[in-house]
Structure formats: structure tokens, C-alpha cells
């Protein structure tokens, strides 16, 4: 089990205070850029009904699911109340030479 760094996109491809969907292998991720340009990543699907979170709204450090308004703090993955009760898995992210990289365990 080692961490493998995967290239997601250029820094400029994610707007500030926004999120994109990133698919890799059999998995889908949500990659966030905060208002002060920090980057984060979580599992891509809501833990409530497997909706792609990247269609949701980012306000400050919270992602709100597009369908049922389940809310998570995307920095920690913490579920912030009904209807979501299971936290999101989070992944390390770093920026290198203008690229956003995501660590997955292989």
C-alpha cells in the first residue's frame, strides 16, 4: 500500500470557491479550491444517495449536494447533518508546477 500521486488538472481549471469532478480508474472524486486557493479532495459521490457532489454548491468550506442538500465540510469530509450522516472520505492534495495532484492509495 503506497500513495500514488495522480495529476488532476491545472490550478486554473478550478475556480476559487468551487469544485470539479475528477474520474480516475473505477473511482470518482470531487476536487475543491477554497476562496483562498487551497486545494482539497473528497470522494466524488454523496454518502446519502450517491449523487455526484461536483454538481453541488461550494460556499466557504462547505459542499452542498445538488439533490438533497446534504452538507459536508470538504476539508475534513465531515457530514454536517441530516440527510447525510456518513462522512466523506478525503484525499491528500498538493500543487506542483501549477498542477493539482491527488494522492490515492494503491
Partner 1 sequence: MNSANAPLVIVGAGHAGGRAALTLRAEGYSGRLILIGDESHPPYERPPLSKGLLQGTIDLAGYSLCDSTRLAELEIEHLAGNPVKSLDPQQHRLQLADGSWLTYARLLLATGGRSRRLSSLPEHLGNVLYLRTHDEALALRASLRPGARLVIIGGGFIGLEVAATARALGCTVTLLEAGPRLAGRVLPERLSSVLLELHRSQGVDVRLNVVIEAVQGNACVEAVQLVDGELLPCDLVVVGIGMQPNIELAAAAGIEVGQGIRVDAQLRTSAPDIFAAGDVCEFQLHPQGVFQRQETWRNAETQGHHAALNLLGGEQPFEVIPGFWSDQYDWGLQIVGVISNAEPTAIRATAEGGFLLFYLDAEQRLLGACGWGQGNSIAKEIKLCERLIAHPNPLSLDALADAGVPLKQLLRS
Q: Which residues bind partner 1 (CB under 8 A)?
A: 17, 49-52, 55-57, 59, 64, 66-69, 82-83
What is the spatial distance between Cα 35 and Cα 59, in angstroms, rounded to a whole number?
9
What is the spatial distance between Cα 98 and Cα 74, in angstroms, rounded to a whole number?
22
Cβ-based nearer residue to partner 1, 52 or 61? 52
Shortest approach of partner 1 to residue 55 CB, angstroms? 4
Cβ-based nearer residue to partner 1, 10 or 59? 59
For residue 4, what are the β-bridge partners? 104
Shortest approach of partner 1 to residue 66 CB, angstroms? 3
Cβ-based nearer residue to partner 1, 67 or 75? 67
Contact 49, 37 (CB under 8 A): no
Phi, psi of 55, deg, nearest 5: -85, 0
Shortest approach of partner 1 to residue 97 CB, angstroms? 29
Question: What's the grid cell of residue 81?
Answer: 447533518
What is the spatial distance between Cα 98 and Cα 75, in angstroms, rounded to a whole number?
21
Shortest approach of partner 1 to residue 68 CB, angstroms? 7
Cβ-based nearer residue to partner 1, 51 or 104? 51
Amino acid at each position: 500500500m503506497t500513495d500514488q500521486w495522480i495529476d488532476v488538472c491545472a490550478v486554473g481549471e478550478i475556480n476559487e470557491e468551487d469544485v470539479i469532478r475528477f474520474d480516475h480508474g473505477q473511482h470518482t472524486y470531487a476536487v475543491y479550491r477554497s476562496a483562498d486557493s487551497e486545494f482539497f479532495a473528497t470522494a466524488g459521490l454523496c454518502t446519502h444517495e450517491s449523487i455526484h457532489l461536483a454538481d453541488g454548491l461550494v460556499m466557504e468550506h462547505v459542499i452542498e449536494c445538488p439533490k438533497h442538500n446534504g452538507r459536508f465540510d470538504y476539508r475534513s469530509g465531515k457530514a454536517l447533518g441530516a440527510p447525510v450522516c456518513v462522512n466523506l472520505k478525503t484525499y491528500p492534495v498538493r500543487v506542483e508546477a501549477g498542477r493539482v495532484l491527488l494522492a490515492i492509495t494503491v
